[in-house]
Amino acid sequence: MKKVFIITGFAIILFGLDFFLTMYYLQNYSHLVGEGNPLALGEYGYISLILNVVYLLLIFMFSFYLQRYQTFVVKANNMKQYIKKIYTSHNTQFIFSISCFVFIVGSFSSRIMVITDWVVFGLYKTTFYETLYANIRMNLPFQRYDIIVGILVGLLAIPLWFFIEYRKSKKTQLIEK
């Protein structure tokens, strides 16, 4: 249960940093900040807060599920064979667990990128839109790094989960012998 609270606590810390940095720059530098999130502006701010509470609950539930998840032990000589046996076994618990893991890792990296974005803005404030960082950002979808980073890290988390589970399976098999 300790890991669940650590993961949820980390999510709360990231949310808090993101929230306070967003509010600070919107309040003090609204003429410079090009915040593209309509939920952070005006009367829709409460919707953003509700969505973040739902997000934190999902993180808590997914991390709780992962804490209780039992590794799918398969006799396999290598990771490729392990993956093949998992997919032919129709193990829905494994698929749900990998989805939870990808969601947590991808969303954490995305939130860290948002915080990094605000920090970079804070370092350059008036010249932010002249930096290479901002010029690259202008060519990204929705002009945001966090979307790309979240998706890429989420995709990288998939083979990582398979590797972690394969190693646990091998370790369990060795202990059983």
Q: What is the predicted pLDDT for the residue at 163?
A: 92
Q: Residue 13 corresponds to which tokens in the numbers above?
A: 């810390």
Report pLDDT digits (tens) over 60-96. Answer: 999 999 999 988 888 888 889 988 888 888 778 888 9
Phi-psi region of 42 (alpha: psi -120 to 50; beta: other; left: phi over 0): left
pLDDT over 90 (residue 33): no
Contact 21, 115 (CB under 8 A): yes
* Confidence check: pLDDT of 39 > 60: no
Say how many CA atoms lie within 13 Å of 124 toward its Cβ: 14
Greater confidence, 131 or 37?
Answer: 131
Instruction: Kindly report the pTM of this predicted structure.
Output: 0.84
Q: Is the pLDDT of residue 150 over 70?
A: yes
Mean pLDDT, the chain, integer:
85
